[in-house]
Amino acid sequence: MKGFKSVSTKKRIAEMLRHVILSNESMLNFEAVFELQEASTSAQQHVEKTNPLSESVDHLEEEQSEQVREITNQSDATSDREEEGGQSKCLDLFKPEINITGSTMIESNFLQLKCLYTPNENVTRILTIFIEAEIGGVYVPIANFFPSHLDLAAALSDAGTYLSGRVVLTNPILPDINGQFEVIITYNKVTCEDDNSYICRLSYIDSEHKHAEVRSQTEKFIVKGSPNQPDDIPSRSPDSNICPGDNVTLICSGNIGKLPGNLKWTKFINGTSTTYTDTVTSKTEIPGTCLYNGTSMLTFEARKEDNNAIFRCEVVHELATNDMYQERSPGTFVYEPLESVEIIKVPDRLYYDPEILFIDLTCSVQGCYQPTHTWVKDPDLNVTIGNESLYRIFEVTVENSGIYICISQIIDNGTEYNQTQSVYIGIRQTDDTKDENGFVGTLEGIITVTLASVAGTILTSFAVFKIIKKAENVRKLKNVHVQDEENIDNNNQQYEETINSIKTGDDELQLEVSQ
């Protein structure tokens, strides 16, 4: 009974002290705490000597409980008295130190926030050690620690509940070889919330039996997060119809980590590289995290040589890896005003049967301007049959066989640019037959040529197709190819001989057109 009542009394007082310390945010009357502890010790010794009745022990406990309540009521008055009287004279001789060890990476599973202190002859007794974080511009306790003589477990304060489930608190137990005591918050998971400034505050009784406090230096806890590869291949604006001298903008974005990094632009061409140093990365915090998203724009004056260049957007960050970049590969995007013209047939066939509903001819242009289009059909070259890039043959009949010509034109700063393209459309009768080699009884639609140069003489595609059209009676064709000839001209005798030789119908017949 005697031992039981003595231990019970000590534990009950400790719990009452714990409740007072953790629940009261104002300064406590730690002199009263010290006196209460001394009274508790005397009371326990008295119980051991006299073996009082349980009623006397209960009465003693009630008195001590009342003393704890008085400590709470006196805390405000104690704080006022300390503010008036100033700090203890031993503060200059006794100051804790706070430091951080381990990894401050997001999701890190080991990091320690430590407060170290070494009591000296001016410190009679340590009462409480607080680790505080800056919240709303002021430092607020997030964890409370107690020396072993108080027999209280370390605990999170109300402001530190965000740490619940991911930290372990360690009270000071024994000094190290340097005589230092330490309290520790051990993190098993680091989150963005931990990015803050921290101090350590000690409350103690000095050699004059006065309550005093001392604070450590401020330690900044900087949480770091890894970046990622940029989200996608840099976008380009404008993405078409770009002329030499036009301004082109490339845009790149993605997670640039924490602390936020930057995005760097480099152009690679013909074995050389150029880094652009005048670009800016705009940074915005990604909602729900402390990571940052970066966006960077590169604007430059387009040149034809840029068609062969690689443009790279790369993350610059202390945690970035070598593969954290995206790039645009070489490709033609800078054109002359009117670079090339092509006619696309749909359906694309060697010949057409009347059963087809229609034939679409599209004049496809590569260039930095949208040209106007004019469609004509041989031999009525002065008659316009269409003014759009698409021309549709609605009546698929033999009468609509022939050469269709698209003339594309633009005017740039008073300079006129023209490109002409033509295609032969051969439409056969339904009763036409094929020979044993699979060829039909006409050469219509075999070749499409835009422009040919023969011995310095320009031969239009229109003329070349006339050659093909005149060979209607040929039934066998083994090979159609292009080879050098000195002269082919519409009014040249050699041209007529070429046509005549085609009409003879030889099994090994070849059509020879210079280019």
| Segment 242-288, tens digit of pLDDT | 889 999 999 999 999 999 999 999 999 999 999 999 999 999 999 98
Q: Coil, strand or helix: which one is 188?
A: coil
Domain boundary, last residue among 285, 305, 328: 328
Question: What is the SS3 string spanning 131-174?
Answer: EEEEECCEEEEEEEECCHHHCCCCEECHHHHHHCCCEEEECCCC
If you average pLDDT over residues 406-421, what whole number do you get? 89
269's CB contacts (< 8 A; 6+ apart) are: 305, 306, 308, 309, 310
Q: Looking at the structure, do residues 113 and 145 belong to the same domain, yes or no?
A: yes
The pLDDT value recorded for residue 15 is: 54
Do residue 49 and residue 12 come from a single domain?
Answer: yes
Secondary structure class of 515 (helix, strand, coil):
coil
pLDDT band at 135 (very low <50, low <70, confident <90, very high): very high
Q: Give yes or no for residue 192 having a pLDDT over 90.
A: yes
Q: Is 416 exposed, middle or buried (0-12, 13-18, 19+ CB in 10 A)?
A: exposed
Residue 239's pLDDT is: 87
Encoding tokens for residue 397?
Answer: 């009949």
Residue 243: burial class (beta carbons within 10 Å; 0-12, 13-18, 19+): middle
Does any domain span residue 122? yes
Looking only at the bridges linking them, the beta strands covering 196-206 and 219-221 are antiparallel
Clarify whether residues 249 and 311 are in a common domain.
yes
CA distances 271 to 283, 303, 311, 325, Å, are: 32, 17, 13, 19
- Higher pLDDT: 499 or 352? It is 352
Structural domain contains residue 230? no
pLDDT of residue 291: 95
pLDDT in tens, 83-127: 333 343 434 446 899 999 999 999 999 999 999 998 888 888 889
- Residue where a domain stops, chosen among 306, 328, 350: 328
Q: Are 265 and 193 in the same domain?
A: no
pLDDT in the model for residue 104? 93
State yes or no: cis peptide before 230, omega within 30 of 0: no
As a whole number of angstroms, the distance between CA 78 and CA 502 comes to 121
Cα–Cα distance, 137 to 147 (Å, whole number): 29
Alpha-carbon distance of 146 to 22, in angstroms, equals: 11
Q: Are residues 373 and 415 in the same domain?
A: yes
* CA distances in angstroms from 386 to 383, 421, 434, listed in the order given: 9, 14, 34
- Asked if residue 225 lies in contact with residue 103, where contact means CB atoms within 8 angstroms, the answer is no
Q: Which helix (H) or strand (E) holds 503?
A: helix 493-503
CATH code at 298? 2.60.40.10
Question: pLDDT over 70 for what percent of the chain?
Answer: 65
The pLDDT score that the predictor gives to residue 210 is 92
Classify residue 84 by its DSSP letter: H
Structural domain includes residue 311:
yes
CB-count exposure of residue 122 (10 Å: 0-12, 13-18, 19+): middle
**CB neighbours (10 Å) of residue 478?**
11
For the record, the structure tokens of 430 come out as 């339904």
Strand order through the sheet with 272-276: 272-276, 262-269, 310-316, 325-328
Query: By the 8 A CB rule, do 96 and 116 touch?
Result: yes
How many domains does the structure of the chain reveal? 5
pLDDT at 84: 38
End position of a domain, from candidates 310, 328, 346: 328
Q: What share of the chain is helix, strand, coil (3-state, %, to 5)?
A: 25, 40, 40
Are residues 101 and 186 in contact, defined by beta-carbon separation less than 8 angstroms?
Answer: no
Is 228 contained in some domain? no
- For residues 422 and 370, membership in a common domain is answered with yes
One domain for residues 407 and 428: yes
> If you average pLDDT over residues 403-432, what whole number do you get?
87
At residue 18 the predicted structure's pLDDT band, cuts being 50, 70 and 90, is low
The string of pLDDT tens digits covering residues 197-247 is 999 999 999 888 999 999 999 999 999 999 999 999 999 999 887 889 999
In a domain, residue 17? The reply is yes
Which one has a higher pLDDT value, 455 or 382? 382
Tell me, yes or no, whether 96 and 213 share the same domain. yes
Range from 14-18, 72-76, 294-298, 408-412 that averages highest in pLDDT: 294-298
**Residue written as token pair 């239009």:** 460
- Residue 265's pLDDT is 97
Q: Are residues 99 and 134 in the same domain?
A: yes
Residue 429 has a pLDDT of 81
Say if residue 239 is in the same domain as residue 302: yes
- Determine the pLDDT at residue 111: 95
Cα 388 to Cα 59, 85, 311, 385, 403, distances in angstroms? 108, 95, 36, 10, 17
Q: Are residues 195 and 96 in the same domain?
A: yes
Q: Is residue 226 part of a domain?
A: no
Which pLDDT does position 393 carry in this prediction?
Answer: 95
Q: Which domain holds residue 240?
A: 235-328
With respect to residue 229, please indicate whether it lies within any of the assigned structural domains: no
Q: What is the identity of the amino acid at 149?
A: H
| Burial of 204 (C-beta count, 10 Å sphere; 0-12/13-18/19+) | buried
Residue 322's alpha-carbon distances to 2, 21, 101, 232, 343, in angstroms, are: 73, 53, 28, 16, 45
Q: Is-above-0.85 flag for pTM?
A: no
Residue 395 pLDDT greater than 80, yes or no:
yes
294 burial via Cβ count (<10 Å: 0-12, 13-18, 19+): buried
Share of the chain above pLDDT 90, in %: 51
Structure tokens given for 113: 């926030």
Instruction: Specify if 184 maps to a domain.
Output: yes
Same domain, 207 and 97: yes
User: Region 26-53: what's the mean pLDDT?
Assistant: 46
Residue 279: closest CA among 229, 316, 245, 309: 316
